[in-house]
Structure 1
Amino acid sequence: MNGDPNKRNKNKYCRFHRDHRHGTDECYDLKQQIENLIRQGKLRHFVGRDHKDEKLKGKMEESSQPPLGEIRVIIRGTSTGQSSKSKKTYLKVVQNVKLSGRSPRTRSMDEPAILFTDEKAEMIHHPHDDAIVITLLIADYTTKRVLVDNGSSADILYYPAFQQMRFGRDQLCPVCSPLIGFGGMKVQPVGTITLPVVVGSYLQQITKEVNFLVVDCSSSYNAIIGRPTLNSWKVITSTYHLSVKFLTEYGIGQAQGDQLAVRECYLAMMALDE
């Protein structure tokens, strides 16, 4: 034991150190010795096994087993272009990032963290399985019923909304490749058009040009914002909060989903199917 023997508490005796200062049950060194022996497997018959520990061990053994095989999925989209060269470039960019271990663009340490709090969730009716439907300013038109779709590889503007913006069909650029839906159904876009889009509210907002595929088919939505634009905005989505957040020059911007509009869109789609 450390310290002056004359100043130790004589009322306490440690059977491990065989000296006075602290009690045996308070002895830190003894506890460390016991833990070391347990790790070495020398005190197995003295240590009680908890049921949870057994379950955890079983899960660890299951996770260590090799997989039965590998299932891949192919996502088709129009972002890669049609030429063989553009497809090779599309793959090579990601391969370069994997080899170097870093992206060409690195996050600034000064950027604030984007957080979603429970306080905001209280404004939403729970439980829910609603999509995120927001309002955007597209080509200076306040456009409601815009679906935020992380699963879409394209930004889509439906033809009725395109007509309400008073654009002519001659302003569309032709497009060859079709859109392929969940069930393999193909839809041929009318064309493409690039329009300015504003997300957020002043001053926390982003204004960017978005290349929309204009589609002439029935939908309760006016537009769909997919991964190309969500990634360019560096958007973080929370389906639980029905909200999207993003960084701007003046802080964190937000576009809150409209839960009532979501359910109206759902009912309208059901009516179209009927």
Structure 2
Amino acid sequence: MKAIRPLLGSHLSISGGYHRAAAAASAYGMGTVQIFTKNNNQWKGKPLTDEECRQFRAALKTGDLHLPCAHNSYLINIASPSSELWDKSVDAMTVEVERAEALGLVGLVMHPGSHLDSGEEVGLQKVVEGLDEVHRRTKGATVKILVEATAGQGSNLGHRFEHLGTILKEVQDSDRLGICLDTCHIFAAGYPLKTRGEYDATFQEFDDRVGIDRIRAFHLNDSKKGLGSRVDRHEHIGEGEIGLEPFRWLLNDPRFAGLPMFLETKKEQRDGEEMDAVNLRLLTSLFEAPAKRKPPR
């Protein structure tokens, strides 16, 4: 029986066209890709054209790219206590879902947001209300919103597994949600990964508080800062505080076979080679054992 490997990819630029991101992913030998659906630093983007969507979908098929995802704009904050910002964020998130659906993406990663000193309980309730409203406005959409675990800088929510569990439990249409785990974020938030015992205990706690089957994607990043630093600083694979072995365990964990896993490390070159290629080659070399889980539908 052929082993089902995780789908390795990276977050790639849509400069010059969405199809160029898919073509670049294919050129790297990736199995998936993550993009922004528009300029990440603006609230609104130009409407998508049918031709843009057609070209992107065709490039995904040609490149044999599966389970592609997007990351929403960092401007969005549906945890905000400000009604003005909350309304604006819900509007923007609705458009993000619509754009992701039009592009044929399966997941839309979002940070839960910042409670801005209103308190975690209040902030989480605003997130739940916001997601319920986005779901109400986008009935029939198949793209899943993937709530991302965060490092916990400032008043950001999502740095505790129980935050994620609360959101999934309280949102009415929870089947339309999943989780994206970022290795840098959970490590910086205080969840240890460096020994096999720590790795197992961390994912057992996640299973207890959220449910391991709710994970729909990973961001693969080492961490520049130490365990529990609450600082979100990505490092190249095996060159940070997490180290190489936890990525080996993750890639060979049969519970995660077939899931998309995206690099979000710095875009730079080393000895004339793009670091995405270096990181991808290293991750591929870590894959060892046959996995038993079928790809998610």
The TM-score range, normalised by the shorter chain, is under 0.3
TM-score normalised by structure 1 residue count: 0.22
State the structure with more CA Rg: 1
Structure with the larger helix share: 2
* TM-score, scaled relative to structure 2: 0.21
| Higher strand residue share | 1
